Amino acid sequence: DAKTTQPPSMDCAEGRAANLPCNHSTISGNEYVYWYRQIHSQGPQYIIHGLKNNETNEMASLIITEDRKSSTLILPHATLRDTAVYYCIAGMYSGGGADGLTFGKGTHLIIQP
């Protein structure tokens, strides 16, 4: 899996958009970018994933740069419940099936009231 780099922590005001950056400059052509978040004492929650096109679902938007070396997760209207550690992961599949995920330290997003 390609190594990813994220800021260790970020603050965002409730109701504003939270933009979480991720650098994955060594990503290979067939590696997807996945975003998960982990709220304290729970298992990670899947948010979104993409290859090269921007993606949007009911939780968030994912913007991937044209060279695929970085991406941004956007939570459009952050709430206090969005406070969590957010992980950006590149990779996951090779050859015949899924690989285990390599988690970095992630970004601790704190939503301020």
Partner 1 sequence: GAVVSQHPSWVICKSGTSVKIECRSLDFQATTMFWYRQFPKQSLMLMATSNEGSKATYEQGVEKDKFLINHASLTLSTLTVTSAHPEDSSFYICSANRAGYYQPQHFGDGTRLSIL
Where along the sequence are the contacts to partner 1 (CB under 8 A)?
32, 34, 36, 38, 41-46, 49, 51, 87, 92-93, 97-106
Rounded least distance, CB 103 to partner 1, Å: 4
Residues 6 or more apart whose Cβ sits within 8 Å of residue 68 = 24, 27, 33, 52
Q: Which residue has the tokens 């970020």?
A: 10
Rounded least distance, CB 7 to partner 1, Å: 15
In angstroms, the CA 113 to CA 101 distance is 33
Tell me whether residue 41 or residue 66 sits nearer to partner 1 (CB atom): 41
CA atoms within 13 A on the CB side of 75: 25
Q: Which helix (H) or strand (E) holds 109?
A: strand 107-112
Tell me whether residue 96 or residue 113 sits nearer to partner 1 (CB atom): 96
Rounded least distance, CB 58 to partner 1, Å: 11
Tell me whether residue 85 or residue 111 sits nearer to partner 1 (CB atom): 85
Tell me whether residue 59 or residue 74 sits nearer to partner 1 (CB atom): 59
Long-range interactions of 45-48: CB distance < 8 A, separation 24+: 45/84, 47/73, 47/86, 48/73
Rounded least distance, CB 2 to partner 1, Å: 15
